[in-house]
Amino acid sequence: MSTFKILWFEDNIENFSDIISNLKKHLIKINRTFEHEPHDRYPLDFDVKMFEGDYSVAFIDLNLNNGQKGIEIIEVLRKHGTFMDILLYSNNPAELEKLTEGDNYVEGVFRHATMTGIEAKMIEVIDQVNYKEIMVLKRNGHI
């Protein structure tokens, strides 16, 4: 089994313990192991180059500690050439829309507003990313 590793920016990760357990179960069903690296904010000294290619996906809360916005993290990731898939979520739909639509459009980012259905959205994103990873391996003759 290969590892499906999630870079996760969430300041209340303990609220996701049941979801994390269900994500682990889902990944086992698709022959992957689960690993996640949670951060409650984006540390200023975080070296983006350290994790290029190490993660399958990033889950990012829109509002983090110290008033930090998930959009800022996405900008740093993209600036450093880290083009992994990202799920940006928020319990504030109006703010999420305002910060990611029109002139603020964020390309290549899955979005989810409200915490209702967040687990299903995470599984949907995991399945899409897993499919892409498998297709790349098949195309390159590794499967």
Token duo for residue 4: 């499906």
State the pLDDT at residue 20: 97
Structural domain for 108, as ranges: 2-139
| Alpha helix stretches (DSSP H) within 90-117 | 93-100
**CATH classification at residue 101:** 3.40.50.2300
pLDDT tier at 49 (50, 70, 90 boundaries)?
low
State the pLDDT at residue 54: 81
Is pLDDT at 22 greater than 80 in this prediction?
Answer: yes
Phi, psi at 61, each rounded to 5° = -75, 140
List C-alpha distances in Å: 10 to 36, 45, 66, 87.
Answer: 11, 18, 12, 12
**Range with the poorest average pLDDT among 5-9, 62-66, 79-83, 126-130:** 79-83
Give 96's contacts (C-beta < 8 A, 6+ positions apart): 62, 88, 89, 90, 111, 113
pLDDT (tens digit per residue) in 107-124: 778 999 988 999 999 999
pLDDT tier at 36 (50, 70, 90 boundaries)?
very high
DSSP state of 97: H
pLDDT tier at 64 (50, 70, 90 boundaries)?
very high
Domain count, the chain: 1
